[in-house]
Amino acid sequence: MKLLTLISLLSCSPAALEVEEISPSSDSSTPPLPPVGVIPADDCRHLDRGDKACNFSLLDQYGASWELYNYSDHVIVLDFSTVWCYPCQMAGHHAQPLQDQYSDENVQFVTILLDGAISGIEPTEEEMSEWVSSHAITTAPILQGSRDKMLSTDGTGLDGYLLGGFPTYIYIDREMKIYSAHVGFNDQHVKQTIEEGL
């Protein structure tokens, strides 16, 4: 059974992405940014239950680098959302309470914002701050992603995540294997799925 056909709930559909290439700056005085996005490897993919999730690194709401594999002893809930998506906004209100409820059991709830207020455009620092503020986030990381950094470009799930809409939840066990996923948000279903991974 394909990973994203497990459950389909209320969700927003992703829109087409327009990518603009930006030339790197020739200013050598600027320190290099940490690597961001999915780190493809031969032993990972994002297609079926049991697949090992590929590592990735993104900047969090504080501007610090957050890396997936640093949480290998946790059950991880990845919430792929966008600022423009109303169901994502509603789900965002549950991120911190879920983090608080399961923090003693080494559960890490992580929101990855792929778009800002405009579909296909990476969220700005201001939009990230507004998300954190409006959803009362304190310890649940909010990561500044984008479609080109995080989504599969070839449809195989080898170079990024495959999503069917927003929000999409992907659940990763303590061995970094995907054990469940669904599109849309339902508080009870999210809690039940977290419990399955404990």
| Secondary structure class of 5 (helix, strand, coil) | helix
Asked if residue 4 has pLDDT above 60, the reply is no
The reported pLDDT for the residue numbered 31 is 53
CA neighbor of 77 nearest in space, from 60, 94, 57: 94
Q: Which pLDDT tens digit goes with each residue over 73-107?
A: 999 999 999 999 999 999 999 999 999 999 999 99
% of the chain beyond a pLDDT of 90: 72
Residue 144's CATH number:
3.40.30.10
What is the arithmetic mean of pLDDT over 133-154?
A: 95
In the chain, count of helices (H) and strands (E)? 5, 8
% of the chain beyond a pLDDT of 70: 82
The reported pLDDT for the residue numbered 25 is 44
What is the arithmetic mean of pLDDT over 13-30?
A: 45
Domain that residue 70 falls in: 3-7+34-197
| Secondary structure class of 95 (helix, strand, coil) | helix
Which residues share a beta bridge with 177? 52
| Secondary structure class of 52 (helix, strand, coil) | strand
Query: Total structural domains in the chain?
Result: 1
The answer to whether the beta carbons of residues 79 and 11 sit under 8 Å apart is: no
Residue 126 per-residue DSSP state: H
Residue 60 per-residue DSSP state: E
* 82 belongs to a structural domain: yes
* 44 belongs to a structural domain: yes
